[in-house]
Amino acid sequence: MPGHPNIVVVMADQLAPQFCGAYGHPIAKTPNIDALAARGMRFDAAYCNSPLCAPSRFSFMSGQLISRIAAYDNASEFRASVPTFAHYLQALGYRTCLSGKMHFVGPDQKHGFQDRVTTDIYPSDFAWTPDWEAHDERIDKWYHNMQTVKESGVAVATFQTDYDDEVGFAARRWLIDRGRDRAHGSDAPFCLVASFIHPHDPYVAQPEWWDLYEDVEIDMPAHALSPEEQDPFSRRVMDGIEASYVPLTEEEVRRARRAYLANVSYFDSKLGEIVKSLEDIGALEDTILIVTADHGDMLGERGLWYKMNFFEHSARVPLIMAGPGVAQGAAANACSLLDLLPTFIEIGGGDAQMLGEPIDGRSLMALARGEADPVDEAIGEYCAEMTPYPVFMIRRGPLKYIHCDPDPPQLYDLSADPLETRNLAADPAYAKAAAAFASEVAERWDSETLRRDVIATQKSRRALHASMQAGAGEHWDYNPPSDASQQYVRNHMDWTEAAGRYRYPPLKEQ
């Protein structure tokens, strides 16, 4: 057994916890997620720090808020100089690997991972840079629209199933190799991040997962709003994704939600494959296993789809942890993805002295052990499409406050109103809390300065992208290294030695 537990993170893309059985969905078929929750700790108020793929992941990797590292949108560079948990775990003696998506933008496509065994699924350059000086102009080439919902349904294969099947296979092979290493004397702990694209739209499922559900079972959005009923930020997002002027039928909404649930079950099966691999190499008992996602999906709630807002279906993520030292139970404290870096450092035996840059989170191991934690907050920042100014969120205790300079503030009491149907920012009974949050926002952020920084990076990235399209520089898309001359059986190898090395578990000495 290694001195410190292995760490395995199985990450979904756009998985709202509300659509998992472990979080109470009545028909979601997620046996592997449910089994993990039954033997470990389920975090019931875990949030992403920015409800968009790349910014959320950069915050998760670095333990820092996106405003601190300029990780504003899906075309923001993740600078090579920012330390990640992969760097720190490597320094603590871990063998580290990324299989799957992390949406790294820039020439550094590893960010501390010793091994990266697949390519990414999305561009690694500046192509997806938004323009806050024309924030209300719809982006056509690469932006969401309602056609995605209208085309939901069933297919034998998609680019997403191709990708996730590769991610799962590569992760399992890497884990088997760690078993081979152990069998030949290596006792180094390992950290694997297996990051899948499902259940991210398009909402297209393979028949075996689609057939797990029936149309009559599928629940419809619980709180739908018309464009006229939306707050200003939600209306901008609604316009941007075309939801405000492309009507959806009830059948289209139901079909998309059924396909989403089917793809949640497909992702759950991938978690099952990882668990099986850990069992196969005898490492499950020595491994802290974590399931999470980069953000959620509105799926028609409030009339919104996808993410890009701080309502519960978009901003909350599943977070379940099980393994040595982790208690069984549920943790009510608000927390977020940036808390995972200090959590991993604690698991690996490190401490704050090794940090190369300040971080914005705290370790969740006290909560994981079932102990009290005085901190009950999550902080969010959104600096991407369909807004002219930064949007901020503070979730503390049962209250959630959302601020954007040109918009009226929003305050929700999630203990009394989990669907966020009543904005309490102007309610006299909440006046003190609303004033305190407003003061905290003003003290915590300089919105005007941040806006100028965002626009400045957008301008520089658009200029660079134009140059790169004209042929400047090299593509940054990651190509996993592969040397066929060193694989399987080759002339410079002893056949029996190679066979013995690959066989797992190895034959016992006679």
Catalytic residue among 53, 97, 191, 335: 53
Question: 3-state DSSP call for residue 497?
Answer: helix
Active-site residue, 404 included: no
* Measured CA angle at 123 (ends 12, 105), to 5 deg: 85
From CA 501, how far away is CA 506, in angstroms rounded?
8
Q: Are 59 and 71 in contact (CB under 8 A)?
A: yes
From CA 227, how far away is CA 204, in angstroms rounded?
27
Q: Are 51 and 385 in contact (CB under 8 A)?
A: no
Residue length of the chain: 510
* Measured CA angle at 30 (ends 303, 414), to 5 deg: 45
* Token pair of 1 as six digits: 């057994």
Helices (H) and strands (E) in the chain, counts: 15, 14
Catalytic residue among 4, 103, 111, 198: 103
Amino acid of residue 465 = H
* Measured CA angle at 395 (ends 390, 398), to 5 deg: 150
Beta partners for residue 98, in sequence order: 116, 193
Active-site residue, 87 included: no
> From edge to edge, which strands make up the β-sheet containing 410-413?
377-382, 391-396, 399-404, 410-413
For residue 56, give the nearest of 24, 14, 19 by alpha carbon: 14
For residue 298, give the nearest of 314, 274, 315 by alpha carbon: 314
From CA 276, how far away is CA 28, in angstroms rounded?
21
For residue 180, give the nearest of 283, 285, 289 by alpha carbon: 283
Question: 3-state DSSP call for residue 164?
Answer: helix
- Annotated catalytic residues are 53, 103
